Structure 1
Amino acid sequence: MKNFGVIFLGILFLVILKGKSTKGEDEFVRVRGVQLMLKGRPFYGNGFNAYWLMYEGSDPSERGKVSSAFQQASSHGLSIARTWAFSDGGYRPLQSSPGSYNEQMFQGLDFVVAEAKKYGIKLVVSFVNNYKDFGGKQQYVEWAKSHGQSLSNEDDFYTNPVVKGFYKNHIKTVLNRVNTITGVAYKNDPTIMAWELMNEPRCTSDPSGKTLQGWIAEMASYVKSIDGNHLLEVGLEGFYGDSTPEKKQHNPNTFQTGTDFIAHNQLPGIDFATVHSYPDQWLNNPSGEAQLSFVKQWVNQHIEDSQSILKKPVLFAEFGKSYKVSGYTQRDRDELYNIIYSAMYSSASSGGPASGGLFWHLLTKGMDNFRDGYEIILDESDSIVGIISAQAQRMSKLRRMYGSLGKRSGNRGRVIGN
């Protein structure tokens, strides 16, 4: 009888433990087919970019801006924020040199994650920049050169073993970081929806895309070896490459970025695709009408390819229109948002792969130094705020509508890596 009692208690303990584990896992965003899933329901997110969150969060006197951004976003129905987990060298770095981290900056990121959780906002977090801003791949190459490596091109970031070692160490450090506010390691925190390998990776020294293909495969495998909870995406803008030469006609102008939207996103370690859209930067002085025509085609083509070829969800992770670019009109900006949002909703409402759109970028009042012409301030009286809020409401309503269907199916999707 004693043995029976011990066995019974052991089984009861395991059942309780399993119940707790399942409850925790349900908080992670997952993938099922071409849809993102959360708690057994399709997850449709309307959201924003705010690259500055860690920077402002690292200064206790400025943290109110982080809280204000999340509060305003939440009150307007926004549910996803994309931000940086990098600042390499330079002023107020997160990583001052390879493996050397600024604890104050890291605590700023801790605050960001904790506040996002408080306001019910999921995070997409990027590991490094393609550009020189906040250090980026060029800083990694410079660090390697100071360690005796003979490098001549910033694209050596993708192939040099020393540089790749520095980058992998950064990934490991971020994933294993234990939040000083919540006590939860980043790799175990469901507030984070996904990791991003790089913000807008490009490799112009190899237009074929093969260099990036190898790097993405290697780094995706490395991330998943440490973190089996979270989704992973590349950070691509959406340019077509050599794997589908017939689709290059959809690229703006004659861009040669060394990227391949189809091939890169087909890699098994990549869970969903991303697309950016900046026709006012990408096209050569076109009319507002031409920009809008491009956007409509660009968005619809990537949704179609995500559905039929990739068979994965797609997130429109950056888009906007700057009032600082010649020919700008508020009407054209509003229409650009409407085109993207309508395509998102149309796809989502039919069970398609479009999972949401994240505009570039959100600020709060008192952040004039961060204005770049694309910024949106939600507590300003502006027609675009109404458009953003309306999209958030209808995407949220769509999620609720599918809720009962998700429960009846009993399919809760899969936790990537488990």
Structure 2
Amino acid sequence: MDDHWPMVERRGTQLWASDLPFIIHGFNTYWLMSFASDGATRPRVTAAIAEAADAGLNVCRTWAFSDGGYRALLTAPFHYDEVVFQALDFVVSEARRHNMRLILSLCNNWEDYGGKAQYVRWGKDDGLDLTSEDDFFTDPTIKSYYKAFVEAVVTRINTITNEAYKDDPTILAWELINEPHCPSDPSGDTLQILNPLFFAWIEEMASYVKSIDPVHLLEIGTEGFYAPSAPELLPVNPDEYSGNAGTDFIRNHQAAGIDLASIHVYSDTWLPHSIEENHLQSVNAWMQQHIDDAANLLGMPIVIGEFGVSIKDGKFGNEFREAFMETVYRIFLSSWKGEVIGGGCLLWQLFPEGAEHMDDGYAIILAKSPSTLNLLANHSRNLNATDASALKRVQIPGQIKNRYV
């Protein structure tokens, strides 16, 4: 563990850690807090982080929420399970021990682990007149539930390290909500526009997080869909629904307090009937448009917060999945080397052995996937380019073991 770890900060379209540029070479393992709350599964948390660090990865995106239900962190509005909170403490401390930064997501658009649907259920239980899950974004009481939770997490004093989360450089960024959708308002105004009746959700919550923690980076967690406000960009979306999901990539990321432009890439579900070559072409078009917009319109780094291919139903195999991964890495690396933009990519998702029952089809177990492990290590080496000029432009915490060379 580095006891003098600098915070990662944004400078224009690039990320820096002290006097060195920082590139995200990351992964998702969403269930770390849940596994850490049980002594029987806690070793899987250490294994997941350690194996990724050994492969040269430097950032993990994971859930810092669990709303109601099994192993809930937020058991009811304003009420928290201390055992689960201590499990999150363990995740943060283990990440620090292995020089792994974290992106911590604070809520879910979907019902998995509670999400906005659970918040609305709590509101109904409290007598609120709510008609839609999208009331999560507008009802003042529901928003007060969310703000209280955010404050509890951001100001948490880690029981293992005795450091406040808001002061801990292990945390690279906070994420407001995983994949927000507001289909009741396809224009995107509910999430975006300020009006006399209510503050737009993104503006309000970004301002709130920054009022508590002005130091850490902040991202929204969007997939990157373009909205009717930019009709010329609607054809870039994977389908018609995407333009009516109630999010707006460009306007969302113009909100004050947002530091990172976040997108996801899932051509396997977005283009389910397309041939593999078309998938890779689609990935290229999707990423290039967002990179251009982040660099030229938003002036901020871009984070491909999730990208992956499911091999669960047999339509796609590991060979295509690796070609997909290489495409994502190549596009980003090319833009970074061209000094267009910084940020990075986070694979969905890496698992250690013993967690196979959680596999949604996207899980990669490095111990069983030597070719994928080599691919990840190669990307690490590309980021740790051996010539002196490149070494001055990138910082990847941790060392690649000789066995990956």
Could you tell me which residue of structure 2 aligns to residue 305 of structure 1?
Answer: 293
SS in 1 for 2:262: strand
TM-score, length-normalised on structure 1? 0.89
Query: Could you tell me whether the CA contact under 8 Å between 1:131 and 1:137 is conserved in 2?
Result: yes
Greater CA drift, 94-103 or 240-249? 240-249
- Tell me the distance in 1 between the aligned counterparts of 2:392 and 2:146: 43
Match of 2:68 among 73, 86, 89: 89
Structure 1 position 370, deviation (Å):
0.6
- Tell me the distance in 2 between the aligned counterparts of 1:331 and 1:51: 25
> Once the two structures are superposed, what CA deviation does each residue of 1:291-350 show, in whole Å capped at 9, x if it has no partner?
222111111111111111111000111000001245213222111101100011111112
Query: Could you tell me whether the CA contact under 8 Å between 2:124 and 2:130 is conserved in 1?
Result: yes
Structure 1 position 60, deviation (Å):
2.1
- Tell me the distance in 2 between the aligned counterparts of 1:210 and 1:345: 34
Query: Could you tell me whether the CA contact under 8 Å between 1:42 and 1:402 is conserved in 2?
Result: no
Could you tell me which residue of structure 2 aligns to residue 233 of structure 1?
Answer: 219
Gaps of 5+ in 2: 193-199, 396-405
- Tell me the distance in 2 between the aligned counterparts of 1:324 and 1:114: 33
SS in 1 for 2:367: coil
Match of 1:44 among 23, 37, 50: 23
SS in 2 for 1:248: helix
Could you tell me which residue of structure 1 aligns to residue 330 of structure 2?
Answer: 342
Amino acid of the residue matched to residue 222 of structure 1? Y
Structure 1 position 222, deviation (Å):
0.3
Superposition pairs for residues 227-376 of structure 1, below 5 Å? 227-254=213-240, 255-325=243-313, 327-376=315-364
Could you tell me which residue of structure 1 aligns to residue 196 of structure 2?
Answer: none
Greater CA drift, 174-183 or 62-71? 62-71
Could you tell me which residue of structure 1 aligns to residue 371 of structure 2?
Answer: 383
Superposition pairs for residues 2-41 of structure 1, below 5 Å? 27-41=6-20
Overall identity of the aligned pairs, in %: 45
Greater CA drift, 146-155 or 282-291? 282-291
Match of 1:76 among 41, 55, 58: 55
Matched, 1:179 2:158: yes
Query: Could you tell me whether the CA contact under 8 Å between 2:301 and 2:341 is conserved in 1?
Result: yes
Structure 1 position 404, deviation (Å):
4.4
- Tell me the distance in 2 between the aligned counterparts of 1:306 and 1:46: 19
- Tell me the distance in 1 between the aligned counterparts of 2:237 and 2:264: 12
What CA RMSD, in Å, does the superposition of the two structures yield over aligned residues?
Answer: 1.9
Distance 1:70 1:198, change over 3 A: same
Query: Could you tell me whether the CA contact under 8 Å between 1:127 and 1:171 is conserved in 2?
Result: yes
Match of 2:32 among 53, 67, 81: 53
Amino acid of the residue matched to residue 251 of structure 1? N
Could you tell me which residue of structure 2 aligns to residue 67 of structure 1?
Answer: 46
Match of 2:182 among 203, 218, 221: 203
Distance 1:405 1:177, change over 3 A: closer
Amino acid of the residue matched to residue 289 of structure 1? E
Amino acid of the residue matched to residue 378 of structure 2? A
Structure 1 position 383, deviation (Å):
2.0
Query: Could you tell me whether the CA contact under 8 Å between 2:32 and 2:91 is conserved in 1?
Result: yes
- Tell me the distance in 2 between the aligned counterparts of 1:398 and 1:258: 45
Could you tell me which residue of structure 2 aligns to residue 154 of structure 1?
Answer: 133
Query: Could you tell me whether the CA contact under 8 Å between 2:384 and 2:394 is conserved in 1?
Result: no
Structure 1 position 351, deviation (Å):
1.6
Query: Could you tell me whether the CA contact under 8 Å between 1:201 and 1:235 is conserved in 2?
Result: yes
- Tell me the distance in 1 between the aligned counterparts of 2:217 and 2:4: 13
- Tell me the distance in 2 between the aligned counterparts of 1:24 and 1:228: 22
SS in 1 for 2:111: coil
Distance 1:293 1:404, change over 3 A: closer
- Tell me the distance in 1 between the aligned counterparts of 2:15 and 2:131: 41
Greater CA drift, 377-386 or 218-227? 377-386
TM-score, length-normalised on structure 2? 0.91
Structure 1 position 382, deviation (Å):
3.6
Matched, 1:219 2:219: no
SS in 1 for 2:48: helix
Match of 2:149 among 167, 170, 175: 170
SS in 1 for 2:62: strand
- Tell me the distance in 1 between the aligned counterparts of 2:274 and 2:27: 26
Structure 1 position 400, deviation (Å):
7.3
SS in 1 for 2:91: helix
- Tell me the distance in 1 between the aligned counterparts of 2:260 and 2:349: 21
Greater CA drift, 277-286 or 134-143? 277-286
Structure 1 position 242, deviation (Å):
2.8
Query: Could you tell me whether the CA contact under 8 Å between 1:41 and 1:402 is conserved in 2?
Result: no
Could you tell me which residue of structure 1 aligns to residue 171 of structure 2?
Answer: 192
- Tell me the distance in 2 between the aligned counterparts of 1:188 and 1:111: 16
Higher helix share: 1
SS in 2 for 1:358: strand
- Tell me the distance in 2 between the aligned counterparts of 1:258 and 1:375: 29
> Once the two structures are superposed, what CA deviation does each residue of 1:355-412 show, in whole Å capped at 9, x if it has no partner?
21100011110112111110011122342221111112211338974564799xxxxx
- Tell me the distance in 2 between the aligned counterparts of 1:181 and 1:399: 40
Distance 1:133 1:404, change over 3 A: closer
- Tell me the distance in 1 between the aligned counterparts of 2:253 and 2:222: 9
Amino acid of the residue matched to residue 216 of structure 1? I
- Tell me the distance in 1 between the aligned counterparts of 2:22 and 2:301: 10
